[in-house]
Amino acid sequence: MMENQSLSWDEIVPIISNFTVWHGAPELAWFKKSWHGLVAAELANYSNDEERHWVFIRAIALGIMYDDYCQLEWDVYSDADSLILELYGQEVISPTRIGNMVERNFEVDETDDQQLFCSMILDLVAQVRLKVYDALVKEYGDPCTLYAGLFVSREEGNDQENLNEIIDEIIDESGFTAGREEAFGYVVSASMLAVDA
């Protein structure tokens, strides 16, 4: 058994980078702060290879949650399956380990190894979304500030540490947002837990 370790931001960037949307990747500031929240919640810790792969799954969950938000806020379509398939050929994530992590009742509908890998990853992501969301809310302080961080994430040089200075520009006293209501609801009503929530 390994000594308890934590995956650093630098170690997780190769996975997170698959989920960037904007030119120049300004959203990496959001991902970095969010990753700090996962580290603070001890969701980046591992002491063996399986636990390390759970950390990878949480990083993928962050990416999928971000891409879901972008689709709701700005109609930026992303295909989670394609993004996950890009991870298939990387040596970081072991398809065999992923296969060992899925529940025994996981239904295998796929015969293609890559599609099976994708289905298993999505199944595992569904299992971690609640803890990832809770860590994000704790890191940002509340769901409205998390929304503000997401809303400014596509801006070059966005400052994820001083969101209180701009939150009033994004969300007024009545709860009206500068963005789309469905995107705000996705974040604040915890629909981030699942795409069809």
Beta carbons of 18 and 87 less than 8 angstroms apart: yes
Domain that holds residue 166: 7-193
Q: What is the DSSP code (8-state) at residue 2?
A: P
Q: Is residue 57 in some structural domain?
A: yes
CA dihedral 45→36→151→191, nearest 10 degrees, is 30
Count of the separate structural domains present in the chain: 1
pLDDT of res. 141: 96
CB 38 within 8 A of CB 135: yes
Residue 1 in any domain: the answer is no
User: Under DSSP, is residue 82 helix (H, G, I), strand (E, B) or coil?
Assistant: helix
Burial of 66 (0-12, 13-18, 19+ CB in 10 A): buried
Asked if the structure places residue 86 within a domain, the reply is yes
Residue 2 in any domain: the answer is no
Name the residue type at position 71. Q
Residue 109 domain-assigned (yes or no): yes
Q: Kindly state whether residue 143 falls inside one of the protein's structural domains.
A: yes
What are the pLDDT tens digits along the chain (197 aa)?
567 899 999 999 999 999 999 999 999 999 999 999 999 999 999 999 999 999 999 999 999 999 999 999 999 988 999 999 999 988 889 999 999 999 776 777 767 889 999 999 999 999 999 999 999 999 999 999 999 999 999 999 999 999 988 998 898 877 777 889 999 999 988 667 654 43
Q: What per-residue confidence (pLDDT) applies to 177?
A: 79
pLDDT of residue 78: 84
- Domain membership of residue 180 (yes or no) is yes
Residues in the chain: 197
Q: What pLDDT, on the 0 to 100 scale, is given for residue 197? A: 37
CA dist 106 and 13 (Å) reads 29
Instruction: Report if residue 157 sits inside a domain.
Output: yes
